[in-house]
Amino acid sequence: MVITTDTHLSNGATTKAESWFAAAEYVPPDAIFALTAQYLKDPCPLKVNLGQGTYRDHTGKPWVLPSVRQAREQLLAQGLDHEYLPILGLRDFRERAAETALGSAIYSGREKLAICQSLSGTGALHLVGLLLKKCQRPLPKVYIPEPTWSNHHQVFRSLGFQCESFSYYDYERMRLDWDSYLSVLDGAEAGSIFIVHACAHNPTGCDPSKAQWREVGQIMKRRSLFLLFDAAYLGFNSGDLDEDAFAIRHFIGELKLEAAVCVSFAKNMGLYGERVGCVVMALNSHVIARNTQSTLEMLQRSEVSNPPAFGAKIASVVLGSEKQRRTWYTDLKTMSGRTREMRESLHDALIACGAPGTWDHLKQQSGMFGFLGLSPEVVTILREPSSSSHLRDAQFYSVYG
């Protein structure tokens, strides 16, 4: 439908302008990227960006992982072309990514897997959403933890799913809201979808223990619920990829549940701008896996035709060589170890300067993200560029002390 609007000309006359998009609404900027824009404009020399999740070295600069640098040099030395990939993506990358996430034992039954390269984690989530939308009628409800990464809601709402938030974090006790988690699992309708972080929950840094994951799995199996893993931080969380993949492998390998795993190498390889991701579907039979993979191929074709090649080739080299993989594991320990040290240093500094309250929850969190537990008023004071440091200190204690 074309909508006609009045346009006022410079001479005072009015004319009719027609647009197919006059009904488009203004959408405020994404909160995380808007915060980064504020950060870039702030002239304070001591500023720190606590919004967008990207690893920085001790100088505050982007860090190209040694394993990635070596893989890139190897590709360039061999001669790099820019031909199209197949619709499903680079075969070597898909296979190595799936084996990395699932482990060799589960991957040995790969005839029951459907695997498709994606545009990082966001693209993987969207592909799984499209697949579920095509295969499920009526659309099941999607349960998403609160708080969570904002794109979880945006992706699935844009596809027509009803998204239901459930309490994941206890803001008062600053820990996992375990009772609420179990209550929602027990009360959800059979066939519902649950989106969970495989590790390093974004943004709280609070994950279930292995015992708690096992309890979640038993309920999900009994209640016939479907689990969608957002696996963006494997290896980055603890420095041990196998440890971080525990929940994925327990649900699929031990409980024999169908599940979707949305893998991303943006964080754990520092390939942020290369958009390297993968959808791994664990299914009940080779026939279902074959059919599902063909459906993913069709959906991929209609969405992006075929995925980008360069980042996938880098990841494939890193994952495909025992030497390169060992270097990558060292890189993961470097990033996770430094992140842990920074968390502990912040805890110790807050205690040393007499900051009111308890800060032990900081050391119990893990991964790239975490919650300080500050009030919105305190956060506003701390990032106010016009305040002097002494004024900020005074305001901090008046609001929080």
Residues forming the active site: 149, 230, 267
Q: How far is CA 170 from the centre of its chain?
A: 21
**Tally of CA atoms within 13 A in the half-sphere of 321 that contains its CB:** 14
CB 153 within 8 A of CB 144: yes
Distance CA 319, CA 137 (A): 38
Q: How far is CA 181 from the centre of its chain?
A: 20
Q: How far is CA 389 from the centre of its chain?
A: 34
Q: For residue 119, how many other CB atoms are within 10 A of its CB?
A: 19
Distance CA 33, CA 30 (A): 5
Backbone angles phi, psi at 164, to 5 degrees: -120, 120
Q: Extract the tokens encoding 395.
A: 């305001």
Give the helix ranges, DSSP H, for 79-188: 91-102, 104-107, 120-135, 151-158, 178-187
**Tally of CA atoms within 13 A in the half-sphere of 191 that contains its CB:** 9
Hey, what amino acid is at 187?
G
Q: For residue 145, how many other CB atoms are within 10 A of its CB?
A: 25
CB 316 within 8 A of CB 92: yes
CB-based burial label for 347 (10 Å; 0-12, 13-18, 19+): middle
Sequence-distant (6+) residues with CB within 8 A of 105 are 249, 253
